[in-house]
A = this chain, B = another copy of it.
């Protein structure tokens, strides 16, 4: 399997983990020291918060049914132990309170291969201002 294929699998596994509301699996591919820039403030989300399984589970459980993430225009660049990828992501679903979510975001991920496995060490997700 090429490195590009390995990274595509990480992204697919993460989408599946979110859909399955499996917070532990969704967090498993995040480096504990991840530098996370998320859609909502602050400028940078502390790594401990970004990798918090309980907080991720609470967010996933706030959906009524599965949160769906569609990855569009994915491009992956990898060499040796460093990779980055970018895509346009669509997050959709229905919240437990009945509110519908349908959000298109820009996503960039930075990855490092550590002990043979690709880990997400940087995530930048945003919507235009």
Contacts and interface: CB of A to CB of B under 8 A. Distances in A.
Interface of A: 35, 37-44, 73, 75, 77-84, 86, 88, 104, 106, 108, 110, 112, 121-122, 124, 126-129
A116 to B, nearest CB: 15
A126 B110 contact: no
A81 B79 contact: yes
Contacts of A39: 128-129
A27 to B, nearest CB: 20
14 contacts: A35-B75, A39-B128, A40-B128, A43-B106, A43-B128, A75-B122, A79-B81, A80-B82, A84-B108, A86-B122, A106-B124, A124-B124, A126-B127, A126-B129
A124 B79 contact: no
